[in-house]
């Protein structure tokens, strides 16, 4: 008879995890065998209910099938073990099926459950390893974009067999292990009975065919280790720390597989005068006290070349001037960032006698 775990904890079927936990704590405290008025049978029932309902997967199975979800088949009702997460190896060891020796020294517990699955593994094409390369570039290079060549020592597609793994001109034959089906069947005897386990053929990888003659260069692997020269195109505007992916330029996979990818991580070298922040660049420049007071036109370097910047009269130290669209190109191709010029007023450390007299007169005038 199916047990009602919700009723055991006194909760509704839509109860949340917090409600389940609170109900369990309250009832466990009430019926604990060590307490006056405790009930050992009721306490075990509460623990069993909580072990199922507090586990999302077990709860879902219980809601769908009731307590019969824990049964291994007719006559195998495991619900009586308390739902505490049975240790299968301990159970079988108690029955004389020790994994260390005795009646079943080669007993593989995973075989039982894989046999229940009844399905076969899907054959997947192996993928080669991805490669990460660090590349240092200058601000000028990221402004215009660059093309570089790098030499990588890695697994490449065998040039002799073109990755097929067999000698050119040789064909394939039916796999002797699976007789061309791509699957092997193995019969297992367990305490539950005899089961047939179907799995992907290890010799042909599920293809049903094997090479008649292996490639003499790669010995059937379809790849060898060598140095490959790769052209890397870094787009204009790429920033420090960004990673560029080049598909299929990682390590080659074994025969029939897919090559991995190459990742280029960009590191921007510090610049002498420019400081980049995303798509904008910043520069500090000094002007004289007289230029700040009276105004002037000064020459400012940009990534496009020098230009004239008008300094209005009364400019203060630390003031920022924006040069629109004179920053870095945006990776999406839409426009450019800006250049910001920070003004610092230069204070002379040494003055001539004439300059000192002039400054004193300015001071007397209140400047």
pLDDT along the chain (367 residues), means of 10: 82 89 87 80 88 87 68 40 40 39 38 41 70 92 90 90 81 80 75 71 74 82 89 90 90 85 92 92 90 88 90 90 91 86 87 79 74
Other residues' Cβ atoms within 10 Å of the Cβ of residue 363:
9
Q: What is the pLDDT of residue 151?
A: 92
Cβ atoms of residues 148 and 161 within 8 Å: no
Q: What is the pLDDT of residue 338?
A: 93
Query: What are the structural domains, with CATH classification, of the chain?
Result: 1-85 (1.10.287.110), 147-235+245-261 (2.10.230.10), 275-364 (2.60.260.20)
**Which tokens hold the place of 331?**
């990776």
Q: What is the pLDDT of residue 89?
A: 41
b/e for 238-247, b at 16 or more Cβ within 10 A?
bebebebebe
Q: What is the pLDDT of residue 122?
A: 46
Q: What angle do CA 152, 133, 273 make, to 5 degrees?
A: 125
**Which tokens hold the place of 172?**
């394939």
Cβ atoms of residues 119 and 248 within 8 Å: no
CA dihedral 118, 124, 126, 130 (to 10 degrees): -110
How far CA 221 is from CA of 93, 124, 178, 200, 317, in Å, comes to 43, 16, 21, 19, 68
Cβ atoms of residues 285 and 300 within 8 Å: yes
Nearest to 180 by CA among 214, 203, 213: 203
**Which tokens hold the place of 38?**
């405790």
Strand partners, 156: 224
Q: What is the pLDDT of residue 275?
A: 93
* Total H helices, total E strands in the chain: 9, 15
d(CA 292, CA 118): 85
d(CA 173, CA 163): 18
Q: What is the pLDDT of residue 219?
A: 84
Nearest to 268 by CA among 257, 278, 254, 253: 278
Cβ atoms of residues 340 and 320 within 8 Å: yes
Q: What is the pLDDT of residue 193?
A: 64
3-state DSSP call for residue 329?
strand
Q: What is the pLDDT of residue 302?
A: 92
């Amino acid at each position: 008879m199916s047990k009602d775990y919700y009723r055991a904890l006194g909760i509704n079927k839509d109860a949340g995890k917090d409600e389940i936990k609170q109900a369990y704590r309250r009832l466990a405290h009430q019926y604990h065998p060590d307490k006056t008025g405790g009930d050992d049978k009721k306490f075990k029932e509460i623990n069993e209910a909580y072990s199922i309902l507090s586990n999302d997967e077990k709860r879902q199975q219980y809601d769908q099938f009731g307590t019969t979800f824990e049964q291994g088949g007719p006559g195998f009702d495991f619900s009586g073990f308390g739902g505490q997460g049975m240790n299968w190896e301990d159970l079988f060891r108690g029955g004389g099926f020790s994994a260390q020796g005795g009646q079943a020294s080669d007993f593989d517990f995973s075989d039982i459950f894989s046999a229940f699955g009844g399905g076969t593994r899907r054959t997947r094409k192996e993928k080669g390893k991805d490669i990460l390369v660090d590349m240092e570039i200058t601000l000028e290079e990221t402004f215009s974009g660059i093309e570089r060549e790098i030499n990588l020592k890695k697994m490449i597609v065998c040039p002799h067999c073109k990755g097929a793994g067999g000698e050119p001109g040789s064909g394939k034959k039916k796999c002797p292990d699976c007789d061309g089906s791509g699957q092997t069947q193995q019969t297992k005897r367990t305490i539950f009975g005899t089961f047939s386990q179907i799995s992907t053929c290890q010799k042909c990888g599920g293809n049903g065919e094997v090479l008649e003659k292996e490639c003499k260069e790669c010995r059937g692997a379809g790849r060898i280790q060598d140095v490959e020269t790769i052209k890397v195109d870094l787009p204009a505007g790429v920033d420090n720390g960004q990673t560029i992916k080049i598909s299929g330029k990682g390590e080659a996979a074994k025969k029939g597989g897919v090559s991995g990818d190459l990742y280029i991580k960009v590191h921007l070298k510090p610049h002498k005068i420019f400081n980049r922040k995303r798509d904008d660049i910043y520069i500090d420049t000094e002007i004289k006290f007289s230029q700040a007071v009276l105004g002037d036109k000064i020459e400012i370097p940009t990534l496009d070349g020098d230009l004239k910047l008008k300094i209005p009269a009364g400019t203060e130290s630390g003031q920022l001037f924006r040069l629109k669209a004179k920053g870095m190109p945006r990776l999406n191709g839409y426009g450019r960032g800006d250049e910001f010029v920070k003004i610092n007023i230069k204070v002379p450390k040494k003055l001539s006698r004439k300059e000192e007299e002039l400054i004193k007169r300015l001071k007397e005038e209140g400047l």
